[in-house]
Structures are given as structure tokens and as C-alpha cells.
Amino acid sequence: MKYLQNTGMGLFVLAFLLWLSMLGVGSYRLTDNVIRKSIPDSSHYALLQPALQGMINNTYNSKFTFIHDFNYAVNHVNDSLKTANAWDKVIYTSYIFPVTKNASKGPLTQHPFTFFLIILLTAITGAFLYIIPEYTKGPPGIRNNHIFHQAMTARGWIGIILGVLLIFFYILLYWYPEYITNWVVLMDPLSEKLSGGPASQWFLYGFFYTMAILVMGIRMLLKYRHNKYQRIRTYSVMFFQTAFAFIIPEILVALNKPYFDFKNIWPLDYSFFYDYHLNELISSGTLGWFMLIWGITLIVIAVPVITYFFGKRWYCSWVCGCGGLAETLGDPYRQLSSKKLKAWKIERWIIHGVLVFAVVMTAVTLINYFSHNALLGSSTNNLHKWYGFFIGSLFAGVIGVGFYPLMGNRMWCRFGCPLAAYLGMVQRFKSKFRITTNGGQCISCGNCSTYCEMGIDVKWYAQRGQDIVRSSCVGCGICSAVCPRGVLNLENLSEKGRLKTKPILIGNNLEMDITVVLKKED
């Protein structure tokens, strides 16, 4: 058993190192064909082609030199345009990613699918060899042994290294994709099968995102094989990620329809009301209009109505992609979220701040759209740029996932997601959902709070016999699962008395002055 698991771990690490080493394989050679293919804009092509003559047909063994030389040439062109005051000709489009990718030469470009398959299968085999024995070796039950003893899960050196690597990955993905073109090259065959086109860095990301949810979803299914709520919920996030976030959008592209994730909802999907997106939908016939109406229906009807009946969990821990990753890949890190009162105070400011930002930005965008740029012309672009940089990329990606092993798996959902804020307001003020505490059975052990990924101090409520109504609760149900005394249960009950539930600890027949209790201990 131990041997099998060590082999698995070894294989996984091997695949991971192979994967990293892919970045250094091959060489780069710029040809006129490559330039033509990568720069479809003919005026840009005409401007850049002469400046790139020095690079043409040279073989670069170093990616860094290649990128440097190309950027230098582009900057040179732009500088002379600026000196000549030809501002309208300055090239703002970035071509460095397609150029680098298309200029790649070497074994990867010749046999991308072979490399892809070997690495993927090695990684998956390794992962399962480790995971399956780990969660099936004993009778089913809660197995949280040594979570706080291990460097991987207790913010030890492995966790820190992993966090740093994830952060690096996101920085490259968002801002320097030209450095990871070799990985994207490996994804080309699969992308061509699905959508008919070559892979982008986003295809690479989407594929690995989905694989992470599937593989770690199976881990979740095994870990909670005694808990049907957890199993169904995990199947749900695995399904929505694979079908709705990954496959359907690719098929839409193959059919020449707009790329569309039917489960992504504004304001998480912050570009839904951007002018280019609206134009794209409107110009795509019936399907486009359907997508537009579908998206608005989700915002206006689905979110309040479904949240009223079931709480925000229907989205956050059953459907959402960010939630799906947090509940699978992020599950080993849920205990790292801060439960301090102070963290809750900060959380409320930041998450509602992001919501306000998203709403204002969208309002400005729409005013701008309907007034045909008469009002607020370029300010929307600036707003989009800032939101995309700080919220869409830095917060949701770099911090949201990069910080899994450092500060828990729901950093984004808890502090940043504007949709979570919206769902949370409905859950807090108009919903049947709450976590019920079971009479006087709480022993303040702290398991519920410890394993709450949203950093809710669950036991604070349970130990005083108060039901938990919190806007941030994503209803993952782990508090109920880890409770050793059967105290917590996720329930949809009548709204009556939901917020004013008197804290009552059953067992002692004495009338206590509840109002005083509430005032002093709040």
C-alpha cells in the first residue's frame, strides 16, 4: 500500500518535472510565413515585416533572446511612429504570444500529442495511485488525520513552494503567455479536435482546470464516500465544469457561434455587458439573442429565486467553476482560512467594495453603449482595464488560486467575488436556507470552524445554540460532515423566525434573559 502510494507520488512528481522541462525544449525560428500567420492585420504586417528582417530565418535556441529581439523590433517601430507623430498607426495589439508559438521548432511541434499524452497519463496514473489507497484503506468516515502535521496542508515548505509556483503560473498565464507557448503547443491537437482551431493559453488553462476538478473530484468522492450530500455535490461541480465550462463553449466555437459559458453569471462574468460582447451576441442570430436573454434571466430571476429556496450553495458549491475548483483541488486547504472576527470585518468591506466596483463599471459601460459613446467615452475602457487587471486577473486568479496553500481555498469567493456578494445578500435577507444547530449537543470542539473554507466561526453559533445565517456560507456541508456530535445540518425551512432565532441551548430548564445574552456577546 505504502509502496503503491510512493510510486504514485513519484510518478506525479516526475510528470510535473517533465511538464516544467517542456518550457525549455526546442528552438524558435521566425519566417515570413510565421509573421503572416501571426499578424493577420495587413497594415501591422506591413509596418512590422521590414523591422523583423534581422530576425528572419535565424534559429534562436533561447526563448528569452527571441522574445527580446521581437519586442525590441516592435518597440522600435512604435517609437519611430511616435516621433513622427503618427499616433493613429502605433501598434497596441500584442503579437508576441502567437509569434512565439508559431515560431516554435523542435520535437514538441512535431509530436505534440505524444508528449501531451505521456505527461498527462503519467500524472493521472500517479495521482490515482496515491489517492485511491489513501482514501479507501480504512472503513469510510472522516479522515483528517495529520492535516496539521503535513508540510503540504499546514502551510509548511511544500505548501509555500506550491503556492509560489501557482502564483508564478498565473502571472505568466495572464501577462506573459509568450513564455509558456510550449505548453500551449502541446494542447493544439486536442483543441483542433474540439473547436477546429489551434490552442490558446486559455484553452490550456481550461483543460487543466477541468482535469484538476475531475481528478481531485474523484479524490473527494472517495474521501466522502460515506456522505451522499458531498458525493452528489461533487458530481455536480465535475459535470458543470466539464460540460458547461469546457466542452460546450469549444463546440460553439467549432460551429462558428460565440464562445459562451451558460453557467457563468454577471457580475462574476464581468464582461457580459461589455460592448464587444453585446455586439457579438446580437449579431449571432437567434442563438445570440437566446444567450443574451439567458444571461439576464440568470441574473434577475435564477439568482434570487433559487437562492430563496436553497441558499447560495446552489451556485457556489454546486455549479460555479471557481467553487468547483475550490471544492476539489482546494479541499486539502480549507482549514487554512482565517476564522478571526477581524477577517470577517475585512471581508465584508472588500467583497462589497468589489460588487460596487462591478456594478458601477457595468452601469457606465451600458450608458456608454446606449449613448453610442457620447457620454463617458474612454473612461469605460479605463475602468475595464483596471477591473480586468485587479479583480479579474490579480484577485480571482493569482490570489484566488495561488493562495490556496497559503490562506485557504476560498480567498476569491470569500473576499472578492461580486456574484458571491449578490447571492450572499439574498441568502442573508431573503432565503429559507440556514445551518441548524442541534439543541445542546455542541461540545465546542472546533472542527466545524476549522474546516469552514469561508472562515465562518461556526462553533461560535453552535455552542450558543444559534442557527447559522451568514451571507458568506456556500453550503458545502463540510461543517456538518466533520461534526462528531451530529450538531449541524443544512436545512431549507420556513423563513419565519429565521433571523431572530433565540439562541437556546437545550438541556437546562431555566428561563434565561435572552435579550441580555444577545446584546453583551455580539
Partner 1 sequence: MRNIVIIGNGISGITCARHIRKKSDDAITIISAETEHFFSRTALMYVYMGHMKYDNIKPYEDWFWERNRLTLLYDHVEKVNIQQKDLVLKSEKNISYDILIIASGSASNKFGWPGQDLKGVQGLYSYPDLQLMEENTNGIKKAVVVGGGLIGIEMTEMLLSRNIPVTLLVRETNFWDTVLPLEEAQMINRHIREHHVDLRLETELKNIEGDERGHVKSIITKDEKRIPCQFVGLGVGVHPNISFLENSNIETDRGVLVNEYFETNIPQVYAIGDCAQYRKSLPGRKPIEQVWYTGRMHGETLAQTICGQRTAYNPGPWFNSAKFFDIEYQTYGTVTPQQSENEETFYWEHENGKIDFRVVYEKMDHTLIGINSFGFRLRHKLFDKWLQEKRTVEFMMEHLAAANFDPEFFQKHERSIVNSFNEKTGNKIKLKRRSRIKELIRG
506 binds partner 1 (CB under 8 A): yes
Which stretches of 176-316 are DSSP H helices?
Answer: 181-195, 201-223, 228-239, 248-254, 275-282, 285-297, 303-310, 313-316
Residue with smaller CB distance to partner 1, 319 or 394: 319
151 binds partner 1 (CB under 8 A): no
Among 42, 93, 486, 522, binds partner 1 (CB under 8 A): 486
Size of the site for partner 1 (CB under 8 A): 61
Instruction: Tell me the closest approach of the beta carbon of residue 101 to partner 1, in angstroms.
Output: 45
The values of phi and psi at residue 83, to 5°, are -65, -35
Among 45, 229, 290, 344, binds partner 1 (CB under 8 A): 229
CB 310 within 8 A of CB 433: yes
157 binds partner 1 (CB under 8 A): no
254 binds partner 1 (CB under 8 A): no
Residue 444, all three cell numbers: 465546542
- What is the distance between the alpha carbons of residues 250 and 247, in angstroms, rounded to a whole number? 5
Report the side by side order of strands in the sheet with 59-60.
Answer: 59-60, 27-29, 104-105
- What is the distance between the alpha carbons of residues 7 and 2, in angstroms, rounded to a whole number? 9
307 binds partner 1 (CB under 8 A): no
- What is the distance between the alpha carbons of residues 73 and 47, in angstroms, rounded to a whole number? 10
Instruction: Detail the DSSP E strand segments found in 342-499.
Output: 433-437, 488-492
Among 447, 466, 471, 472, binds partner 1 (CB under 8 A): 447
Interacting residues with partner 1 between 459 and 478 (CB under 8 A)? 459-460, 463, 477
Residue with smaller CB distance to partner 1, 294 or 308: 308
Among 197, 485, 499, 502, binds partner 1 (CB under 8 A): 485
507 binds partner 1 (CB under 8 A): yes
Peptide bond into 98 cis (omega under 30): no
Instruction: Tell me the closest approach of the beta carbon of residue 6 to partner 1, in angstroms.
Output: 15
Cβ partners under 8 Å of residue 183, min gap 6: 19, 22, 23, 204
Instruction: Tell me the closest approach of the beta carbon of residue 74 to partner 1, in angstroms.
Output: 53
DSSP assignment, residue 398? I
**Per residue in 43-69, is it b (16+ CB within 10 Å) or e — as a string?**
ebbebbeebbeebeeeebeebeebbeb
Facing residues of 488 across strands?
A: 437
Among 346, 389, 444, 502, binds partner 1 (CB under 8 A): 444
521 binds partner 1 (CB under 8 A): yes
Instruction: Detail the DSSP E strand segments found in 66-204.
Output: 104-105
341 binds partner 1 (CB under 8 A): yes
Instruction: Tell me the closest approach of the beta carbon of residue 438 to partner 1, in angstroms.
Output: 5
Residue with smaller CB distance to partner 1, 309 or 386: 309
Instruction: Give the number of residues written for the chain.
Output: 522
Which range in 66-74, 102-110, 376-384, 485-493 contacts partner 1 by CB under 8 A?
485-493
Which range in 111-119, 249-257, 389-397, 456-464 contacts partner 1 by CB under 8 A?
456-464
Which range in 194-202, 315-323, 380-388, 435-443 contacts partner 1 by CB under 8 A?
435-443
Instruction: Tell me the closest approach of the beta carbon of residue 329 to partner 1, in angstroms.
Output: 21
- What is the distance between the alpha carbons of residues 409 and 522, in angstroms, rounded to a whole number? 28
- What is the distance between the alpha carbons of residues 79 and 3, in angstroms, rounded to a whole number? 61
Q: Side-chain half-sphere of 423: how many Cα atoms within 13 Å?
A: 31
Instruction: Detail the DSSP E strand segments found in 373-492.
Output: 433-437, 488-492
148 binds partner 1 (CB under 8 A): yes
Helices 341-370 and 275-282: crossing angle in degrees, nearest 10, is 60
Among 197, 289, 497, 502, binds partner 1 (CB under 8 A): 497
Among 46, 282, 360, 512, binds partner 1 (CB under 8 A): 512
Instruction: Tell me the closest approach of the beta carbon of residue 472 to partner 1, in angstroms.
Output: 18
Instruction: Tell me the closest approach of the beta carbon of residue 379 to partner 1, in angstroms.
Output: 44
140 binds partner 1 (CB under 8 A): yes
Binding mask 110-139 for partner 1 (x = CB under 8 A): ----------------------------xx
Closest to 135 (Cα-Cα) out of 10, 231, 220, 212: 220
- What is the distance between the alpha carbons of residues 147 and 451, in angstroms, rounded to a whole number? 11
Q: Which residues bind partner 1 (CB under 8 A)?
A: 138-142, 144-150, 226-229, 232, 335, 340-341, 436, 438-441, 443-447, 449-450, 459-460, 463, 477, 480-482, 484-486, 489-491, 493-494, 496-497, 505-510, 512-513, 516-517, 520-521
